[in-house]
Structure 1
Amino acid sequence: MEHAKKAPFGNQPCSFVIFGATGNLASNKLLPALFHLEAAGRLAENLTLIAFSRRDWTVDSWREHIRSVLGDKIGKKLDSPVFERFLARFRYQKGDLNEVESYHALATQLSPESACTRTVFYLAIKPADFAAVVQHLEAAGLNKPRGMSRVVIEKPFGEDIESAQTLNRLLHQHFDEEQIYRIDHFLGKETVQNLLVFRFANTLIEPLWNRNFIDHVQITVAESIGIEGRADYYDRAGALRDMLQNHLMQLLAVIAMDPPPALEADALRDEKVKVLRSIRPIIKRAVHAHAVRAQYVGGHVDGHAVAGYQQEKEVEKNSITETFVAAKFYIDNWRWGGVPFYLRTGKRLAQQSSLIAIRFKHPPQQLFRETPLERVAPNWVLLSIQPEKSMRMEIHVKQPGLDMDTRVMQMNASYLKTDEQALDAYETLLLDVIEGDRSLFIRFDEVEWAWQVIDPILKHWAVEREFIPTYPAGSWGPAEANRLFDNDDQTWRNEV
Structure 2
Amino acid sequence: MNLGKNDSADNLPCSFVIFGATGNLASNKLLPALYHLEAAGRLAESLTIIAFARRDWTTENWREHMRETLDGKIKGSLDTPVFERFIARFSYHKGDLNDVASYRALAERLPPESACSGAVFYLAIKPAEFGAVIQNLEAVGLNKPRGLHRVVIEKPFGEDLESAQMLNRLLHQYFDEEQVYRIDHFLGKETVQNLLVFRFANTLIEPLWNRNFIDHVQITVAESIGIEDRADYYDRAGALRDMLQNHLMQLLTVVAMEPPAALEADALQDEKVKVLRSIRPIAKRAVHAHALRAQYTHGKIDGKPVVGYQQEENVEPNSITETFVAAKFYIDNWRWRGVPFFLRTGKRMPHQTSMIAIRFRHPPQQLFRETPLETIDPNWILLSIQPDESMRMEIHVKQPGLDMDTRLMQMNASFLKTDEQTLDAYETLLLDVIEGDRSLFLRFDEIEWAWRVVDPILNHWAVEREYIPTYAAGNWGPADANRLFDSDDQVWRNEL
Number of the residue aligned with 1:221 = 221
Number of the residue aligned with 2:194 = 194
Number of the residue aligned with 1:23 = 23
Give the 5 Å matches for 1:17-416.
17-74=17-74, 77-111=77-111, 115-416=115-416
String of CA shifts for 1:396-450, please: whole Å, max 9, x gaps. 0000000000000001000000100000000000000000000000000000000
Q: Does the residue aligned with 1:108 lie in a helix, a strand or coil?
A: helix
Distance in structure 1 (CA, Å) of the matches to 2:288 and 2:75: 50
Q: Given the alignment of the two structures, is residue 491 of structure 1 paired with residue 494 of structure 2, yes or no?
A: no
Does the CA contact (< 8 Å) of 1:48 and 1:111 recur in 2? no
String of CA shifts for 1:119-171, please: whole Å, max 9, x gaps. 00000000000000000000011111111000000000000000000000000
Supply the AA of the counterpart residue of 2:300.
H
* Cα RMSD, aligned residues only: 1.4
Q: Does the residue aligned with 2:486 lie in a helix, a strand or coil?
A: coil
Length-normalised TM-score, structure 2: 0.98
Bigger relative contact order, structure 1 or 2, given CA contacts below 8 A and separation 6+? 2
Supply the AA of the counterpart residue of 1:169.
R
Residue 372 of structure 1, CA deviation: 1.6
Distance in structure 2 (CA, Å) of the matches to 1:80 and 1:24: 24
Distance in structure 2 (CA, Å) of the matches to 1:310 and 1:401: 56
Distance in structure 1 (CA, Å) of the matches to 2:203 and 2:32: 38
Percent identical among aligned pairs is 81
String of CA shifts for 1:297-317, please: whole Å, max 9, x gaps. 000001110000000000000
Residue 465 of structure 1, CA deviation: 0.4
Q: Does the residue aligned with 2:10 lie in a helix, a strand or coil?
A: coil
Distance in structure 2 (CA, Å) of the matches to 1:92 and 1:215: 54
Does the CA contact (< 8 Å) of 2:397 and 2:407 recur in 1? yes
Supply the AA of the counterpart residue of 2:22.
T
Supply the AA of the counterpart residue of 2:109.
Q
Q: Does the residue aligned with 1:17 lie in a helix, a strand or coil?
A: strand
**1:107–1:117 Cα change, 3 Å:** farther
Distance in structure 1 (CA, Å) of the matches to 2:456 and 2:108: 47
Distance in structure 1 (CA, Å) of the matches to 2:363 and 2:8: 52
Residue 76 of structure 1, CA deviation: 6.8
**1:408–1:448 Cα change, 3 Å:** same
Distance in structure 2 (CA, Å) of the matches to 1:127 and 1:415: 36
Distance in structure 1 (CA, Å) of the matches to 2:178 and 2:469: 43
Query: Which shows bigger deviation, 427-436 or 106-115?
Result: 106-115
String of CA shifts for 1:58-88, please: whole Å, max 9, x gaps. 0000000000001113477535211101000
Q: Does the residue aligned with 2:50 lie in a helix, a strand or coil?
A: strand
**1:447–1:74 Cα change, 3 Å:** closer
Distance in structure 2 (CA, Å) of the matches to 1:359 and 1:85: 49
Does the CA contact (< 8 Å) of 1:292 and 1:325 recur in 2? yes
Supply the AA of the counterpart residue of 1:207.
P
Supply the AA of the counterpart residue of 1:463.
V
Supply the AA of the counterpart residue of 2:133.
V
Does the CA contact (< 8 Å) of 1:9 and 1:44 recur in 2? no
Supply the AA of the counterpart residue of 1:187.
L
Q: Does the residue aligned with 2:71 lie in a helix, a strand or coil?
A: helix
Does the CA contact (< 8 Å) of 1:295 and 1:471 recur in 2? yes
Length-normalised TM-score, structure 1: 0.98
Q: Does the residue aligned with 1:320 lie in a helix, a strand or coil?
A: coil
Q: Given the alignment of the two structures, is residue 470 of structure 1 paired with residue 464 of structure 2, yes or no?
A: no
Distance in structure 1 (CA, Å) of the matches to 2:386 and 2:74: 21
Does the CA contact (< 8 Å) of 1:253 and 1:276 recur in 2? yes
Q: Does the residue aligned with 2:221 lie in a helix, a strand or coil?
A: strand
Query: Which shows bigger deviation, 107-116 or 308-317?
Result: 107-116
**1:113–1:154 Cα change, 3 Å:** closer
Residue 111 of structure 1, CA deviation: 2.3
Does the CA contact (< 8 Å) of 1:77 and 1:83 recur in 2? no
**1:466–1:279 Cα change, 3 Å:** same
Distance in structure 1 (CA, Å) of the matches to 2:75 and 2:115: 37
Supply the AA of the counterpart residue of 2:192.
V
In structure 2, stretches of 5+ residues that fail to align are none
Does the CA contact (< 8 Å) of 2:138 and 2:174 recur in 1? yes
Q: Does the residue aligned with 1:103 lie in a helix, a strand or coil?
A: helix
Q: Does the residue aligned with 2:356 lie in a helix, a strand or coil?
A: strand
**1:174–1:113 Cα change, 3 Å:** closer
Does the CA contact (< 8 Å) of 2:17 and 2:50 recur in 1? yes
Residue 281 of structure 1, CA deviation: 0.2
Query: Which shows bigger deviation, 323-332 or 109-118?
Result: 109-118
Does the CA contact (< 8 Å) of 2:12 and 2:117 recur in 1? no
Supply the AA of the counterpart residue of 1:191.
T
Distance in structure 2 (CA, Å) of the matches to 1:111 and 1:469: 55
Residue 115 of structure 1, CA deviation: 2.0
Number of the residue aligned with 1:479 = 479
**1:9–1:59 Cα change, 3 Å:** farther
Distance in structure 2 (CA, Å) of the matches to 1:111 and 1:494: 52
Number of the residue aligned with 2:428 = 428
Distance in structure 1 (CA, Å) of the matches to 2:440 and 2:148: 20
Q: Does the residue aligned with 2:344 lie in a helix, a strand or coil?
A: strand
Does the CA contact (< 8 Å) of 2:11 and 2:117 recur in 1? no
Supply the AA of the counterpart residue of 2:324.
F
Q: Does the residue aligned with 2:151 lie in a helix, a strand or coil?
A: strand
Distance in structure 2 (CA, Å) of the matches to 1:445 and 1:110: 32
Distance in structure 2 (CA, Å) of the matches to 1:63 and 1:210: 53
Distance in structure 2 (CA, Å) of the matches to 1:176 and 1:23: 28
**1:468–1:36 Cα change, 3 Å:** same
Distance in structure 2 (CA, Å) of the matches to 1:112 and 1:199: 46
Q: Given the alignment of the two structures, is residue 12 of structure 1 paired with residue 12 of structure 2, yes or no?
A: yes
**1:272–1:113 Cα change, 3 Å:** closer
Q: Does the residue aligned with 2:438 lie in a helix, a strand or coil?
A: coil
In structure 1, stretches of 5+ residues that fail to align are none
